[in-house]
Amino acid sequence: MRKRCCFVCLKSGHLAKNCHSNVRCLICERRHYALLRPDLRKGISTLPKSKVADEKAKSTENLLTNFPSEYEIYLKTIFFRLRNKGKEVCIRALMDDGSHRSYIEKSLVAELNLSPSGTEVLSQGLFGGGISPASEHGRFSVAVESFNRKYSASGALLDQPKICSPLPRIRDKTLLTKLASRGIVLTDVGRDTPPIRILLGVDVLGSILTGRIEVFTSGLSALLG
């Protein structure tokens, strides 16, 4: 109360009577976190100890995930040119050094009229240890070129119906100025969010990244190509 923290959502700046949060206690269904129940704080409960511990853990987990992130997280995305038989398109790609293989969106394959050089059947390891069912992917040889046309590379990409959900682009002018002060000019910037149509895995990244990393005092790190 001294810090004007809300007893419903535990955030500062307002009181419980003015809170619009949908928080519900996992034990009694009232508008507060289970951690605030008097019987839990005193160690007295009609619930079994194992049940109380489980509810407290769930409440703590929900509490942590409900706090807003202080900073927007930017993944490693890049804007470059893709060429095939005289046709060229500019697309967004996600650089994922946790992926062994590189992928291209199926609709982009059709747009560029790419011909497969073969097929591969593989499963994908998922977060949490799961394995996706084996599926067949077409393999396509693609030439990629930097937006400023200073470098190019070729690689074998496997087709995939969709690469990922929308990812934000950097639009913070202060951040872009800091990067420019170190000679870093980003290609994937702006307020709109074009779809990610290619995923570049370690099989291609090794040929386009320089290995140079710039670390800023704010904690931001820039990996350069």
Q: What is the pLDDT along the chain (225 residues), one digit of tens a residue?
A: 445 567 766 667 777 777 777 666 656 667 766 556 565 545 444 445 554 455 444 443 443 344 344 556 778 888 888 888 888 888 898 888 888 889 999 999 999 999 999 998 888 777 777 787 888 899 998 888 887 787 778 888 999 999 988 888 878 788 788 878 878 777 788 888 889 999 988 888 777 766 667 676 665 666 565
**C-alpha angle 169/141/109, rounded to 5°?**
60
Give pLDDT tens digits for 128-177: 777 878 888 999 988 888 877 877 788 889 999 999 888 888 787 887 88
pTM: 0.60
Query: CA 74, CA 216: separation in Å to the nearest integer?
Result: 15
Contact criterion met (CB below 8 Å) for 186 and 176: yes
Residue 60's contacts (CB-CB under 8 Å, 6 or more residues apart) are: 35
